[in-house]
Structure 1
Amino acid sequence: MIMLYTVINGLLIFSYWLLIACVTVRILMKRRAVPSAMAWLLVIYILPLVGIIIYLLLGELNIGKRRYERNKAVSPFINQWINNLKDCQHIFATQNSEVACSIFQLCEHRQGMSGLIGNKIELLTNTYETIKLLIRDIGLAQRNIEIVFYIWQAGGVIDQVAEALMAAARRGVLCRLMLDSAGSAHFFCSHYPTMMRDAGVQVVEVLHVSILCLFLRRMDLRQHRKMVLIDNYISYTGSMNMVDPRYFKQKAGVGQWIDMMTRMEGPITIAMGIIYYRDWEIETGERIQSSAEHIIPDKYTYSGNTIQVIASGPGFPEGVIHQALLIAIYAARKKLVITTPYFVPSDDLLNAICTAAQRGVKVHIIIPRDNDSMLVEWASRSFLSELLEAGVRIHQFEGGLLHTKSVLVDNQLSLVGTVNLDMRSLWLNFEITLVIDAKAFGNNLALVQEDYIAHSRLIDVMVWSKRPYWQRIIERLFYFFSPLL
């Protein structure tokens, strides 16, 4: 009996270390950033067995076999769609400003399409005014409405959006609604999905959260885009979820969420539609056939706004948003302003920002003083010392949870959308960013950012250097896990 116990115990120990060795080799064989690899090795060695399970669940980008096959099948169709769109040469930009030239070259070579002109763009900073405009546009829709959001939470003015969407479906407008399963969990537990489907709205729960799927795909991979497309002509995107700030996460103690959206009219809506239709087929298996109005934008007139849209996530060019951010930062000559609610940058982005400040660019980073994620808040703090020493001015916004994601370079080049400056947005989730080469829009964005700064507290480098030692220990601890956040 003792010998049997010894043999079983030995086999268990051998199996355990063999499992650790296999996972270690798998981590090392995957070409990933060294900090990320080291963080994962730290997790599996510090947390025996639990760390291995966490890695198997969250360590690799896996959308599941079915979605992978659908993405593979839709790719030739999407490429043909882009080629058809290129026949309309009058909607494509032939030149860009000096600060924007490199980033638009990147987008053209990696995504197959240059920047689009003929767009009207409006910057929206008030949630209720945004909702009012959206309800109006939905009410005027004649053919189709496509919507995707990470969070849709019923209550307040959001119920009016739902009513407008159902009314549009009843009068014959084709309405498609994709919502993330995790972000919109409360919505899918309400009566609204049934009401909407009964009215004719096609409601899809994206990346369904289920214990059965736990080991079949990565559960923390989320659909984080926010888009509304109307009649292939009007579009919205930005940081705002479909929530009423008066009711959303009030118990978090961070105040109301402060967001930014853009409303556009023009060919950029077609480019965003290509992204939406790819997402739709990956999730549902249903192909949305293009019609003439998708690819023949005769009614578009010239304007000075050149816009490019960048999409990320499985099936899209890997790391392109990260590359675009780096190019934008290195292109700055006078001033760089960044707003983000979650600041856990890659080493490349951190070095680029510090280098910009050290070569004389006036660099401002605006982050919320209070964050709804304790892990991200502490991890973010670990980067501030290096930034402050480089001369970066860091502002802590005190008027609520600043949820706006924006980058402004020399008041000319703007990046706005859904992307946070953290690993999850840059390398994992389905995200969208607009790259806007327009002086007027840049000036408007600058005014908004200046207002954010006016409602912020500037971090003093001397005061920061004297913070308690226990805080520094916690910051460094969370820094080790920052590649995983």
Structure 2
Amino acid sequence: MQFTSFHALISTMILLGYWLIIVATTLRIVFKRRPMTYVVAWMLVIYILPILGVILYFALGEAHLGQQRVKRAQKMRPTIANFINKISELQGIFTGNVSQVSKPIFQLCKHQTGLEGINGNHIELLSDTDAIFDRLIEDINQATSNIEMVFYIWNEGGRADDVEAALIQATKRGVVCRLMLDSAGSRHFIRTDASKRMREAGIIIVEALKVNLLRFMFRRLDLRQHRKVAIIDNYISYTGSMNIVDPRFFKQNKHVGEWVDVMVRMRGPVTTLMGAIYASDWELETGDYLALPKITDFAEPPEEKKHIMQLIASGPGYMENMIHQVLLTAIYSAQEQIIFTTPYLVPSDDILHAVCTAAQRGVEVIIIIPKKNDSLMVKWASRAFFSELLDGGVKLYQFNDNLLHTKSVLIDNQLSLVGTVNLDMRSLWLNFEITTVIDDAEFAKSLSLLLQQYLSQSEEVNVEEWKKRPFWQHVFERLFYFFAPLL
């Protein structure tokens, strides 16, 4: 009897302990004030998967940086605040004289960062892979002082090898080259002979957010450095959707075709802000201080009232939900037309409703996504949103043959957003991302021509045909929709 009583006591204590863990985790999820679909998804995970669900939540459910990075972020704040105060005092570089459709976004940016629109930039849209590599390599070859890069993926082969060669030659001229690569996205390259050659040549390579199962108690395991940025001599900068990969040599075994990307090449004051973001990322990752660039150092005089811009950076340690707020503001500001391109369509409830509302108030809303996708889960999760989007009056197009990887938004042929941000939960809430906000009709025209080219290579999703899809597809869509807030 004593053994039975002891066994019952232990069982009761274990059950009570488990119940307390579940209650504590549930309260933690609720108090984070995330979107309701996110909350419900995680609560189902911890209830359906005993113990394992709780472990998964603390490993993947919160965007915690780890104590060291949090301390570094806190240490950097006064420096960044001082930098912003200094540049905001400069005359002629910042302006509030923006277009009507862009005004709400620039007002939001000023409230959040203290900076108005950055005036007088020279920018160009590059959409051909070889042209992007040619311009980047040409700029690297002309560098005289420093080159800073951060990329999610670096993959050997083709034109990527040409970039490697150009960087090695730059170090031989005395140019300081710093390269930050995401640990997960570039895991194969970091351990290649090419990476070794670059290090031996003097290129500083940092593996960002190292993937290590032992670290999950101290930092979220799947937090990723998803930016794509290159800065040359603090004069020229690039950002956009393209990694340092030649699409002819990248993921050919996935049978999705070649990746289709864009990059924006920028000269002028905006590059200084890009340099400040890079310096913050570098110190956050390495703990080493990187001198902030001087805003008065330009490759050439800025153009008057030309290419008014802002840069929006996101990620732990940055302004929370900033990119999400910018997207919502842009959607609600549109009066005539919105065109999105995104490889991964898993929107938040707020963006889903904003897009459908825009379509219902007479705005033409077009979303272009790839027909083939390299992520099976994202493919089916995306399809779960099709019915609501189509019923809301949104036009969906599927890009044929290749994987459309461009991340862009065009509003009323005036306001452009181009960068690294996908319309999915990871980009909106978690990863280190960056996007350019460009208020310029000339640039918008270039982007519009490119988007029309994409549309000519796409098929519109027909509402009636979509409703006739097989029942098993409905099942798959609902199954993967359950994971949508976690993707």
Match of 1:301 in 2: 302
Match of 1:276 in 2: 278
Kindly indicate whether the alpha-carbon contact (under 8 Å) linking 2:370 and 2:400 is maintained by their aligned counterparts in 1: yes
Match of 1:379 in 2: 381
- Helix, strand or coil for the counterpart of 1:90? coil
Distance in 2, matches of 1:77 and 1:213, equals 29
Match of 1:185 in 2: 187
Match of 1:417 in 2: 419
Match of 1:264 in 2: 266
1:84-141: per-residue Cα shift (whole Å, max 9, x none)? 2223322212300111111011111111211112111111111111011111100000
- Helix, strand or coil for the counterpart of 2:437? strand
- Helix, strand or coil for the counterpart of 1:309? strand
After alignment, is 43-52 or 432-441 more displaced? 43-52
- Helix, strand or coil for the counterpart of 2:320? coil
Distance in 2, matches of 1:324 and 1:210, equals 33
Task: Select which of 351, 357, 360 maps to 1:358.
Answer: 360
Distance in 2, matches of 1:170 and 1:52, equals 51
Distance in 1, matches of 2:177 and 2:98, equals 36
1:397-420: per-residue Cα shift (whole Å, max 9, x none)? 003110000000111000000000
Distance in 1, matches of 2:433 and 2:311, equals 11
- Helix, strand or coil for the counterpart of 1:448? helix
State the 1:145 CA deviation. Answer: 0.6
Distance in 2, matches of 1:439 and 1:9, equals 69
Letter of the 1:301 counterpart: P
TM-score in terms of structure 1 length: 0.97
Match of 2:63 in 1: 61
- 5+ unaligned residues in a row in structure 1: which ranges? none
Kindly indicate whether the alpha-carbon contact (under 8 Å) linking 1:267 and 1:300 is maintained by their aligned counterparts in 2: no
Distance in 1, matches of 2:88 and 2:22, equals 51
Kindly indicate whether the alpha-carbon contact (under 8 Å) linking 1:367 and 1:402 is maintained by their aligned counterparts in 2: yes
Q: What are the equivalent positions in structure 2 for 1:333-372 lying under 5 Å apart? A: 333-372=335-374
Task: Select which of 152, 157, 160 maps to 2:154.
Answer: 152
Match of 1:328 in 2: 330
Kindly indicate whether the alpha-carbon contact (under 8 Å) linking 2:269 and 2:302 is maintained by their aligned counterparts in 1: no
- Helix, strand or coil for the counterpart of 1:336? strand
Distance in 2, matches of 1:476 and 1:120, equals 46
Task: Select which of 216, 233, 238 maps to 2:240.
Answer: 238
Match of 1:226 in 2: 228
State the 1:481 CA deviation. Answer: 2.0
Match of 1:319 in 2: 321
- Helix, strand or coil for the counterpart of 1:89? coil
After alignment, is 267-276 or 83-92 more displaced? 83-92
State the 1:361 CA deviation. Answer: 1.0
Kindly indicate whether the alpha-carbon contact (under 8 Å) linking 2:276 and 2:292 is maintained by their aligned counterparts in 1: no
Letter of the 2:74 counterpart: K
Task: Select which of 249, 255, 259 maps to 1:247.
Answer: 249
Distance in 2, matches of 1:35 and 1:300, equals 49
Kindly indicate whether the alpha-carbon contact (under 8 Å) linking 2:267 and 2:298 is maintained by their aligned counterparts in 1: no
Q: What are the equivalent positions in structure 2 for 1:186-205 lying under 5 Å apart? A: 186-205=188-207
> What RMSD, in angstroms, separates the aligned Cα atoms of the two structures?
1.4
Distance in 2, matches of 1:296 and 1:246, equals 38
1:364-395: per-residue Cα shift (whole Å, max 9, x none)? 10000111111111111111111111211100
Kindly indicate whether the alpha-carbon contact (under 8 Å) linking 2:137 and 2:163 is maintained by their aligned counterparts in 1: yes
State the 1:194 CA deviation. Answer: 2.6
Letter of the 1:39 counterpart: A
Letter of the 1:145 counterpart: I
After alignment, is 32-41 or 185-194 more displaced? 185-194
- 5+ unaligned residues in a row in structure 2: which ranges? none
Q: Report % sequence identity.
A: 54
Distance in 1, matches of 2:64 and 2:419, equals 24
